[in-house]
Amino acid sequence: MAAIHYANQRFELEPGQSVLDGLTGHGVPVPSSCRAGVCQTCLMRSTAGVPPPAAQRGLKDSLKARGYFLACVCHPEQDLRVVLPDAEDEDRQTATVLSLDLLGGGIMQVALECHAPLDYRPGQFINLFQDTGQVRSYSIASVPGLDDPIHLHVRRLAGGRVSGWVHEELRPGQTVTIQGPAGDCFYPSGTPGQPLLLIGTGSGLAPLYGIVRDALAQGHYGPIRLYHGSRAPEGLYLAEELRALARRHAHFDYIPCLSGPDAPEGYAQGRVHEVALRDNPKLDGWRIFFCGHPEMVKLGKKQAFLAGAALRNIHADAFTINPAMPGAGA
């Protein structure tokens, strides 16, 4: 078995054990969040030994060249000597909380003013650090040029430490640490006539809200259809804003969906991905975005593929597709 050398100690990995589990199991404080190779919170650097390519997937070339890897998906076949990352390589910076607004459905909109320019695309995500070191990934709902500060939508989860902190303790004027952006769930320029289908549940609306407005701002002229699902009407936050957006853009449709038994007039009834796929049964040539509940994302991706969508045209909010992630998107 490979061994990990960290701070003059040697840790033997169990079969199938990741570097993250091997180190944290011995009390080494390696930060982590998604534990699925997505959020990049568990970034480490190898100073001796080559990390496996799978542990470097998604990292910038400059980081790969210097031996950086993601500890949660690192299963080395040779010994590695590792260190925690240098601060300047973590893409971390500070930001001031400008405002906190309840949008409905238990969603808090957090507006952040970054202390250094943040080059992001709506729909990507950033990591938000709590003072205690807990970290969670949140998609960016804002659009550069339309919304000045960064907007995150944070849903309060039962027992969610970071979401509880945001809802209960965070105050305007406070300084927080963020990391990123990362992720490839965003509107790609260059195909302005391509039909777009966006399907989300709960706070999975955040990246979709950013992507829709980004596409419209960039002059997208193909049809854009956004389906947002919830059990109850109050979960369909931003419904009025989206209805107003649809009135201003004839090629944009907003379809609120309720999965409960009785949907009042103005709402589609049924599970959101089923409604969307029923309304749009042929998806060859479409670009599709799924964000929200992991099971919906999994089923929706499969059904979209069966309806003719090419895999390269199916996007999902990276961190919410991992059911194992504690408090995914919370």
Give the largest Cα separation in the chain, rounded. Answer: 66
Which lies closer to ligand FES via its Cβ, residue 72 or residue 316?
Answer: 72
Radius of gyration of the chain (CA): 21
Which lies closer to ligand FES via its Cβ, residue 180 or residue 210?
Answer: 180
Give contact residues for ligand FES (rule: CB under 6 A).
Answer: 32-35, 37-42, 70, 72
Which letter does DSSP use for residue 145 in this model? Answer: T
Which lies closer to ligand FES via its Cβ, residue 40 or residue 56?
Answer: 40
- Minimum gap (Å) between residue 319 Cβ and ligand FES: 8
Query: Nearest-CA neighbor of 198 among 175, 174, 220, 172?
Result: 220
- Minimum gap (Å) between residue 43 Cβ and ligand FES: 8
Q: Residue 218 corresponds to which tokens in the numbers above?
A: 């960039």
Which letter does DSSP use for residue 295 in this model? Answer: H
The CA distance from 165 to 98, in Å, is 16
Query: Nearest-CA neighbor of 68 among 41, 94, 93, 92?
Result: 41
- Minimum gap (Å) between residue 72 Cβ and ligand FES: 3
For the stretch 17-23, contacts whose Cβ atoms lie closer than 8 Å and that sit 24 or more positions apart, written own/partner, are 17/75, 18/71, 18/72, 18/73, 18/74, 18/75, 19/44, 19/55, 19/69, 19/71, 19/72, 19/74, 19/75, 19/76, 19/80, 19/82, 20/71, 20/72, 20/74, 21/72, 23/71
- Minimum gap (Å) between residue 33 Cβ and ligand FES: 5
Which lies closer to ligand FES via its Cβ, residue 109 or residue 163?
Answer: 163
DSSP string, 96-139: EEEEEEEEETTEEEEEEEESS-----TT-EEEEE-TTS-EEEEE
- Minimum gap (Å) between residue 26 Cβ and ligand FES: 17
The CA distance from 137 to 202, in Å, is 15
Strand order in the sheet with 268-269: 268-269, 252-258, 224-230, 196-201, 287-291, 314-316
Which lies closer to ligand FES via its Cβ, residue 34 or residue 206?
Answer: 34
- Minimum gap (Å) between residue 18 Cβ and ligand FES: 9
Which lies closer to ligand FES via its Cβ, residue 33 or residue 313?
Answer: 33
- Minimum gap (Å) between residue 37 Cβ and ligand FES: 5
Query: For residue 196, how far is the Cα from the chain centroid?
Result: 19
Which lies closer to ligand FES via its Cβ, residue 33 or residue 303?
Answer: 33
**Which residues are paired to 80 by β-bridges?**
4
- Minimum gap (Å) between residue 180 Cβ and ligand FES: 11
**79-89 core/surface letters (b: 16 or more CB in 10 A; e: else):** bbebebbeeee
- Minimum gap (Å) between residue 200 Cβ and ligand FES: 22
Which lies closer to ligand FES via its Cβ, residue 52 or residue 106?
Answer: 52
